[in-house]
Structure formats: C-alpha cells, structure tokens
C-alpha cells in the first residue's frame, strides 16, 4: 500500500520527445521544411477538392496558381556558401575547366588511392572461405590469351566465303518471300 503523498503519476513522453527532436533536426538541416510541407499538403488537398468538382474560393485558387520554386541541392549549397552559413563544403571545380591539366590529374590519382579498399592479409584470418577469397582477391586475375598471328587482326573471310554468304542470304530471302506470297 502506498501513501497518497508519495504516489505520483508520470506520463512517459519519451516517444513524443524523440519525434520533436527529429522534427527539430529536420528544420535545422533544411530551413523552412515545415512551411514547405504545409504548403504542399494544402496544395494537394485543394487539387483533390478540385478533382472532385467542388468550387474553390479565390484564396484557394490563388494558392493553386502560385508556382513552387524548385531548388536543386547544388544551388542550395551555393547559396548557403555565399551567405557564409555552416553546411557542406562547396563543390569542387571541374577539372575540365582548369587551365592546367597536371594538377587536376594529380588530385584525381590521390582520390583514387584513398578510395581503394584495403583488405586484410589472408594469414590474419581463420575462416577458410574468407582466406580463399582474400587469396583470390590478392592474386593477378587478368587472363591473357596470345593471338597465333599477332600481325593480323583476326581471321578475315575470303572473297569466295563472302560470295557464298551473299548467295545463301539471297536464297533464304527468296524462300521466305515465296512462303509469304502463298
């Protein structure tokens, strides 16, 4: 039995608090998101109402006439960078636009090296399937088949073979034409 002075009912608001925090994080990441969502929802409901054949007021028609401004992420990042706000780093300049080609190539090589996946050595694992995969991955997997006659670009058909092919193709066309005409 509890004394009435010590008994208290507390509502668990953990779920609501998490939802509020999530919405707040959306707003900080994308300012004006809630307003855009509300306008979009209102526009959707008005279009739905219009499709059902209901009459719209002047204010509702004005909302439908408003053009939504489409902002691409790239443009938005540039605007944020111009304002000096915090956010993603500005986009890097295209290497095609650069005056000198050598520095851009060096940067590209550095990025490629950093993006390469570093796999552990096969001896550092116990699992046999992982070890076999790592050995396969480390091995040279390029298969080269040397050409018998390296000076020629493969075997070329002779003129007689080409003529035979033309004759056969002509015969099959004539046979097909004859079957379709019957």
Query: Do the Cβ atoms of 64 and 54 come closer than 8 Å?
Result: no
DSSP 95: T
Kindly report the average pLDDT of the chain as a whole number.
76
Residue at token pair 């992982």? 130
Model-level pTM greater than 0.85?
Answer: no
pLDDT in tens, 29-62: 777 777 888 888 889 999 998 888 888 888 888 8
Query: Do the Cβ atoms of 42 and 63 come closer than 8 Å?
Result: yes
80 closest CA partner among 72, 70, 69, 88: 88
Q: Is the per-residue pLDDT at 100 higher than 60?
A: no
- List helix spans (H) across 52-127: 58-65, 73-83, 101-115
Q: Angle at Cα 119 formed by Cα 116 and Cα 123, nearest 5°?
A: 155
42 closest CA partner among 68, 73, 16: 68
């Amino acid at each position: 039995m509890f004394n009435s002075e010590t008994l208290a009912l507390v509502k668990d608001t953990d779920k609501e608090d998490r939802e509020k925090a999530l919405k707040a994080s959306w707003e900080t990441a994308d300012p004006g998101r809630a307003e855009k969502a509300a306008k979009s929802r209102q526009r959707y409901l008005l279009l739905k109402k219009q499709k059902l054949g209901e009459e719209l007021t002047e204010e509702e028609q004005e909302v439908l006439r408003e053009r939504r401004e489409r902002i691409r992420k790239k443009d938005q990042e540039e605007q944020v960078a111009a304002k000096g706000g915090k956010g993603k780093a500005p986009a890097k300049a295209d290497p095609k636009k650069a005056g000198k080609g050598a520095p851009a190539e060096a940067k590209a090589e550095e990025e490629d090296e950093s993006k390469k996946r570093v796999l552990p050595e096969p001896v550092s694992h116990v699992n046999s399937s992982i070890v076999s995969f790592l050995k396969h991955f480390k091995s040279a997997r390029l298969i080269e088949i040397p050409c018998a006659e390296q000076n020629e670009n493969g075997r070329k058909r002779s003129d007689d073979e080409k003529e035979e092919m033309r004759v056969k193709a002509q015969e099959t066309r004539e046979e097909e034409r004859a079957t379709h005409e019957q």
